[in-house]
Amino acid sequence: MKENQKTYWKGIEQLKNDPEFVKKNEGEFPEYLPINEQSSEANGRRDFLKLMGFGIAAASLAACEAPVRKAIPYLNKPVDVDPSVPNYYASTYVNGGDAVSVVVKTREGRPIKVEGNKYSSVFKGCTSSHVEASVLSLYDKERLVGPTKGGAEVDWNTLDKEVTAQLGKIAASGGQIRIVSNTVLSPTTKKAIEEFKAKYPTTQHVAYDQVSAYGITKANEASFGQAIVPSYDFSKAKTIVGVAADFLGTWFSHVEFNRQYAETRRISAEHREMSRHFQFETNLSLTGANADYRTPVKPSQVGGVVAAIYNGIAKLAGQASVSSSFKASDVQYLDKAIKELWANRGKSLLVSGSNDSAVQILVNGINQMLGNYGTTIDLAQPMLYRQGNDMAMNTFAKDLSAGRIGGVIFFNCNPVYDSAEGAAIAKGLAKASLTVSTSDRMDETAAAVTYVAPDHHYLEQWNDVEVKPGKFSMVQPTIAPLFKTRQAPESFLKWAGQTVEYYTYLQNNWKETFFAQQSVTSDFQTFWDKTLFDGVFEVAVEARDVTYSAEPVAQAANSIAQNYKVQGQGLELALYEKVGLGNGTMANNPWLQELSDPISKATWDNYLTISMAYANELGIEMVDGETELVTLTVGGNSVEVPVLIQPGQADGTVGLAIGYGRTSAGKVGNGVGVNAYPFITKLNGANTMDVLAGVSVEKTGKKYKLAQTQTHQTYMERENVIQEATLPEYKKDTAAGRWSPKIYKEGEYIKPSKITLWSGHEYNNHHWALTIDMNTCTGCSACVVACQAENNIPVVGKEEVLNRREMAWLRIDRYYSAANPAGNKKELEEASANPEVTFQPMMCQHCNNAPCETVCPVAATTHSTEGLNQMTYNRCIGTRYCANNCPYKVRRFNWFKYHDNTQFDKNLSMNNDLGKMVLNPDVTVRARGVMEKCSMCVQRIQAGKLQAKKEGRKVKDGDIEMACASACSTDAMVFGDLNDPNSKISKLLKVEEKEPGVKATDRVINEDRAYHVLEELNVNPNVWYMTKIRNKDKQEA
Amino acid sequence: MIKTTNYMLAKRIIVRFAAACLFVCCFVFSGVQAYAQRDAVPTDEAIIAEGEKLFSEWACNTCHRVDQKLVGPALKGVYDRRSIDWIYQFVQNSQRLIASGDAQANAIYEEFGGLQMPSHDLTDDQVLSIMAYVRHTEENPPAAAAATDTAGDGTQVAAEGGIPSKYLNIIIGALIVVLVLILIVLGLIIGVLKKYLQDKADLDEEDQEVVNEKFDLMAFVKSPTVIGIITFLVIVLAAKNVIDGLYTVGVQQGYQPTQPIAFSHKIHAGQYEIDCQYCHTGVEIGKNANIPSVNICMNCHSAIKTDSPEIQKLYAAQESGEPIEWVRIHNLPDLAYFNHSQHVNVGGIACQTCHGEIQEMEVVKQHAPLTMGWCIDCHRNTSLNTKGNGYYDKLVELHNSNAATPMKVTDIGGLECAKCHY
């Protein structure tokens, strides 16, 4: 009956069937709950009496008089602000070299939610977890409230006077001045820096990126004479090969790539085609998890893999090959990848995340031979996200250490922490006479400089951003500056002796430069207003003539032969960025810290990822997050770091995430994990995240607990949860991979829905439902943070995650699967060597026959006439029967009061007045002792319905979107009304129109891929999943 | 109480008298300079309707009445007093007219204390249609103006069902009288029987004892049965009181705090009939009705009653930049979501339904209990305002095919938890 013979598991312990783990999962709660310790018998009676006494006293006090509450209206109400009515402003999320066009929702003048801007042709309304979380950083209590000198507050006038005087002095004596920053995307800010440079001619602007792309720009300079990173268009690619490039998780504009990638993965009965994705990588990345064929390779093989592809393609193209000892047959699937790249030439794409220019020169050569330039790669529209220059940064650090720099201004960057030269810079700073930072907080760098001139948060400032030539996006303030901060470019102008406000400066620049580039309107004000309203301004740029030169290829191949090995000896370290925390600039954002990593499912930590085989070699066992600390030593640097056994990790390698180990990020980010930036080394003149030699790991014997959420609320033997097929199977049968359970009754097998105790619901007005396409869901986790922001979900902290009390309403379950079950150690190693991965976002399924509703003794959870399973907090008495009876384990219990509670001070959005400004006023902040869960964003449904009623019309499809669905870059989630035959979801599910009076449970869905998780229970959810289709020739792995 | 009423009455008479005097003045004035262009004002019904719409849309009634001087002059007969052209110019831009040295415009400007009529972006035809509405109202004065004052009481009586309490009291009184009479008769019978038995000689000792037994009140009171019954009653009564008391915890019906400014809804909403939305701007668009900001007060009070100590508080607020801290009267718990626009804009419910006769309130008090039971009750009994609203079309059609009664809020899920709690 069951077609799928794979073994699925969520964590190593499940695969091992560890007896302790099985025992834990049998009970309702993993362990005896410490919360009950207080009520031992000796105290029971007294506590009861105390409580009763308090209760009576409280009740009688409450009866006396209600407190006087004030209603304070505006003194002068702004015309556009109506209390309770949200306003939306187009703006742009900017963080270093990352930018995304967004729309900011404000309530009573407070930004509370960030969503994607659909007007942008680059981002098309997509967001990431960082974008969604950025609004909380605005209300971070750790931000500086004004300028400081030597750590003490000063006023702007004093600071300006002193800084200007010292700059003048340095310039007069011919001393060197440096402005150090991450990539600056704003053309007007760059102009302001130019003005500064004009005033102080000894100034140089040094840009660096935490994760550098300098090698890629150098390679393009060699191949095409242009130091750029071209644009990629995955949507046009039929064969995608990624070599150590996490383009769906962290690489460049992954927001954009997610959308493009998903377009090639969206299939239907009418369109039974999808791209094939090969991935060769060390750590199991989000991108690798989505690949059809993935091969773990060591970092020292990356160059060889690319060289082998080059030679393979060159042979097919009849061109000269390069000298390389690598053969395509050395690496699994490499031959296949080469053949398919060639077969789909012009419609294929090879990307590599390597920052070694030699590797990238070969990558350029391969794409050139494949004819991908002009189709999947666009040199005329380079991506401007990474403009850092590693050599310049290195020179700066040396100059600073040598005392050759008179003054340095760190413009919104933190190189002491997040650059490879951090230690040198920290030491060298004392030798410069003037040190300034524009950081928004006392971070590692700001703490080491004399003056801090804090910049606005991006939601407080005016600016422009150019993500690609001709693709502009505006930054518009959505709130008046909360503190006495000043926009950094305005500071530059001021220090350059100009008194103009930056807003005026920006407007003037646009009047002079970009206004002239358009012909739509001749009135500048109209142009300006329209640009701000749209949030984007896009002009066509001329295609530049580019000629490819194959000349550097031979030299690059030689360099590869020198630096890379076919079979590397010894341990190698691959540093990586985590999808959640990224490069660590937002380390003080608890939403990102608690976001469980889509792959490892760990929160609040970084860790050394090691393979199962290596763990066995070291003798490290990992059960339920309990692991050991090891000492990782690279050259002279060593850190003590916990180990995480990561299926799919290449043998002989370990992985470690950057972005952790902050010491001055703030209360939330400080002391979480270890700092991996010092391990960054140089290869061919550019920073590399791969350490190819000199890595050693030693056991310490110390125990450590990692807060992983994965194995929480899981049960085994549920193959019916993930339903998947391969593309050839799907082409033959659109129902391939579907598992339709049958129940035995009176001599025959029938569908589970045929036997029911339920009378069913009729939905006459709306029938809200959600579909999740597991084929386009890449696991990027933007939805998880969006849900957290929209629904006031508390952050509980590492301790409580360890206690399995995380509160996320929406989790992304990650399943590993392998062809064979794992009975012994050897089989276990094999199974976890390179498993397949499936992501499944899981939230309340809004069952039509909801098991939670029947067991609630106080009817706190009930069914609505629109298909929603409603949770009423004020009625809940906390029996937790519902959570117990929920087969999907999506209900969350408030074990504690998470708001106004010093014990949960990491829950920034609820524990101080500033943080509370981010709360969604339409959603209750839940009290202790009540159950909560996904409400299908009922506040948005109600608001959308009300708007329709006010306008006297029906609800249009798209009027209402759940927070998760609107955050989804890949449109994997589609929300809508099944009663509306024209809605996207009705068409997607091929819903048959329902006559009035027909029960919702009898509704006919004709889409073969759509299924209910745990269909045999006949709980009949309103959330539909679509089978995962892998583009593999046959079932394997 | 009577005193205030008398005072109010007197005040109203004085105001009316003053208005009447002004009318007379106006007539005298118009007698001097009669334009008599009344006939130029159209009487076409469509134009009148358009005028009425504009009159309310542009909130003319904030300053003007047809037959009453308010912030600005009464509009009655304005077409007799002025040329139509002059009216166009004055309405569209009075400032320009005054600046041009027009005598009439300047006279008005001075008469109304240097208060300028704001400019209105209206076309000549629109102004004319407003005139048509004014003429129509003047020539067909609303008959029921006097009746509105008593309408409030009428609805109150109609709301109560069953036997009126007045009759109930009479019935209970009669029953008590009957019971007392029965008791007296019984007492008399006992006395007669006792006397008869005492007179009988052949009674034995035991019977004698029974007949002559003295009634011992103390023993009766101390008997376990009586103590038991009394204890039971006391406990039941106490429990009922406690439970009733607990139900009123947090219920602030009748809450009437003193506000920082003695603002009278009676004057503004009652006497001057200023539209509620003129100040409570959010009531049709959002969740909150909005307490007006000071700049809304200043629309009128920059010129009206400028020396009143209460109004001075507005100026003080504006000068200091400190908003006025009103005492919040209607406090819904945070867990309940209530949206004004849903009820007022979509539902078409009058403010008075929940807030009481607000136009009669000198100081606002909480009219409704604002308990969940009260909300639910209304949702059970209120028919939906679905007319002309495309949202409800399908629902109404479905409902009418199954039921004879009009569609209530509860019929479309109006009692579901997640309508108000999320």
* Domain match, A121 and A243 both: no
Contact A811, A4 (CB under 8 A): no
What mean pLDDT value characterizes chain A?
88
Local confidence band at B156 (pLDDT 50, 70, 90 cut-offs): very low
* Domain match, A834 and A943 both: yes
- Asked if the model's pLDDT at residue B34 lies above 60, the reply is no
Q: What integer pLDDT is reported at residue B241 of this predicted model?
A: 92
Residues of chain A contacting B422 with CB distance shorter than 8 Å: 870, 922-924, 935, 938-939, 942
Q: Where are the alpha helices (DSSP H) in A812-863?
A: 825-831, 851-855
Q: What integer pLDDT is reported at residue B27 of this predicted model?
A: 42
pLDDT tens digits, residue range B72-129?
788 888 888 888 888 888 888 888 888 888 888 888 877 776 677 877 888 888 888 8
Find, in chain A, the residue whose alpha carbon is nearest to that of B287: A84
Contact A473, A536 (CB under 8 A): yes
Contact A910, A916 (CB under 8 A): yes
Contact between chains at B293 and A923 (C-beta distance less than 8 A): no
State how far residue A856 is from chain B, nearest Cα, in angstroms: 14
Structurally, chain A folds into a number of domains equal to 5
Sequence-distant (6+) residues with CB within 8 A of A37 are: none
pLDDT tens digits, residue range A368-385?
999 998 899 988 889 999
CATH value at residue A700:
2.40.40.20
- Say which of B346, B390, B395 has its CB closest to residue A765: B395
Residues of chain A contacting B319 with CB distance shorter than 8 Å: none
Does A494 map to a domain? yes
Does A352 map to a domain? yes
What is the Cα Rg of chain A in Å? Answer: 29
* Domain match, A844 and A967 both: yes
* Domain match, A269 and A125 both: no
Q: Where are the alpha helices (DSSP H) in A200-301?
A: 214-224, 254-265, 286-290
Q: What integer pLDDT is reported at residue A727 of this predicted model?
A: 92
* Domain match, A160 and A223 both: no
Contact between chains at B293 and A77 (C-beta distance less than 8 A): yes
| pLDDT over 70 percentage in chain A | 93
Contact between chains at A59 and B281 (C-beta distance less than 8 A): no
pLDDT tens digits, residue range B207-231?
777 777 777 788 888 889 999 999 9
Q: What is the mean pLDDT of residues B343-368?
A: 92
Chain centroid offset of residue A49 CA: 50
Contact between chains at B417 and A868 (C-beta distance less than 8 A): no
Does A958 map to a domain? yes
Q: Which residues of A270-293 are buried (b: 16+ CB within 10 A; e: fewer)?
A: eeeebbbbbbbbbbbbbbbbbbbb
Distance CA B99, CA B93 (A): 10
Distance CA A692, CA A565 (A): 10
- Say which of B321, B335, B390 has its CB closest to residue A873: B335
CATH value at residue A492:
3.40.50.740
Sequence-distant (6+) residues with CB within 8 A of A982 are: A957
Contact between chains at A59 and B388 (C-beta distance less than 8 A): no
Preferred mutation among A69, A763, A962 to probe B, highest tally of B CBs within 10 A? A69
Residue ranges of chain B that CATH labels 1.10.760.10: 21-141
Select from A367, A383, A399 the last residue of a domain. Answer: A383
Q: What integer pLDDT is reported at residue B148 of this predicted model?
A: 42
More confident residue, B140 or A500: A500
Contact between chains at A873 and B421 (C-beta distance less than 8 A): yes
Q: What integer pLDDT is reported at residue B299 of this predicted model?
A: 87
Q: Which residue has the tokens 């990027």?
A: A780
Residues of chain A contacting B388 with CB distance shorter than 8 Å: 952
Phi, psi of A451 (to 5 degrees): -110, 135
Distance CA B14, CA A492 (A): 69
Most confident region among A325-339, A459-473, B48-62 by mean pLDDT: A459-473
Q: Range with the lowest mean pLDDT among A8-17, A601-610, B305-314?
A: A8-17
Q: What integer pLDDT is reported at residue A628 of this predicted model?
A: 92
CB pairs under 8 A between A and B: 160
Residues of chain B contacting A952 with CB distance shorter than 8 Å: 388-391
Burial of B181 (0-12, 13-18, 19+ CB in 10 A): exposed
* Domain match, A931 and A897 both: yes
Which residues 341-370 of chain A have a CB within 8 Å of chain B? none
Q: What is the mean pLDDT of residues A521-535?
A: 91
Interface predicted TM-score (ipTM) of this complex, two decimals: 0.84
| pLDDT over 90 percentage in chain A | 62
Q: Is A37 helix (H, G, I), strand (E, B) or coil?
A: helix
* Domain match, A801 and A862 both: yes
Select from A340, A362, A383 the last residue of a domain. Answer: A383
Nearest to A457 by CA among A471, A440, A442: A440
Residues of chain A contacting B398 with CB distance shorter than 8 Å: 764, 996
- Asked if the model's pLDDT at residue A45 lies above 80, the reply is no
Distance CA B326, CA B364 (A): 12
Residues of chain A contacting B387 with CB distance shorter than 8 Å: none
Judged by a CB distance cut-off of 8 A, whether residue A39 touches chain B is no
Q: What integer pLDDT is reported at residue A15 of this predicted model?
A: 66
Select from A678, A708, A738 the last residue of a domain. Answer: A708
* Domain match, A128 and A154 both: no
Q: What integer pLDDT is reported at residue B197 of this predicted model?
A: 82
pLDDT tens digits, residue range A244-276?
999 999 998 899 999 999 999 999 989 999 999
Distance CA A436, CA A449 (A): 6
- Asked if the model's pLDDT at residue B162 lies above 70, the reply is no
User: Is B21-141 assigned to CATH 1.10.760.10?
Assistant: yes
A174: containing domain: 148-211+388-470+480-498
Nearest to A626 by CA among A32, A24, A33: A24
Does A196 map to a domain? yes
Q: What integer pLDDT is reported at residue A19 of this predicted model?
A: 65
* Domain match, A703 and A733 both: no
- Asked if the model's pLDDT at residue B26 lies above 50, the reply is no
Does A1037 map to a domain? no
- Asked if the model's pLDDT at residue A478 lies above 90, the reply is yes
Does A302 map to a domain? yes
Residues of chain B contacting A63 with CB distance shorter than 8 Å: 245-246, 248-249
* Domain match, A907 and A975 both: yes
- Asked if the model's pLDDT at residue B153 lies above 50, the reply is no
Contact between chains at A75 and B292 (C-beta distance less than 8 A): no
Residue A782 corresponds to which tokens in the numbers above? 């933007």
Q: Is B85 helix (H, G, I), strand (E, B) or coil?
A: helix
Half-sphere exposure of A382 (CA within 13 A, CB side): 17
- Asked if the model's pLDDT at residue A718 lies above 60, the reply is no
Phi, psi of B170 (to 5 degrees): -65, -45
Instruction: Give the DSSP letter string of A913-967.
Output: TTGGGGS-TTSPPPPTT-EE----SHHHHHHHHHHHHHTTSPPPTTS---HHHHH
Residues of chain A contacting B390 with CB distance shorter than 8 Å: 952-954
CATH value at residue A367:
3.40.228.10
Contact between chains at A765 and B418 (C-beta distance less than 8 A): no
Most confident region among A1011-1025, B3-17, B96-110 by mean pLDDT: A1011-1025
Judged by a CB distance cut-off of 8 A, whether residue A982 touches chain B is no
Contact between chains at A952 and B395 (C-beta distance less than 8 A): no
* Domain match, A172 and A227 both: no
Contact between chains at A63 and B333 (C-beta distance less than 8 A): no
Q: How far is CA B370 from CA A66, A877, A1009, B241, in A?
A: 14, 23, 50, 21
* Domain match, A314 and A197 both: no
pLDDT tens digits, residue range A292-319?
999 999 999 899 899 999 999 999 988 8
pLDDT tens digits, residue range A899-944?
999 889 899 999 999 999 999 999 999 999 999 999 999 999 999 9
Residue A214 corresponds to which tokens in the numbers above? 């300098």
Give the largest CA-CA distance in chain B: 125
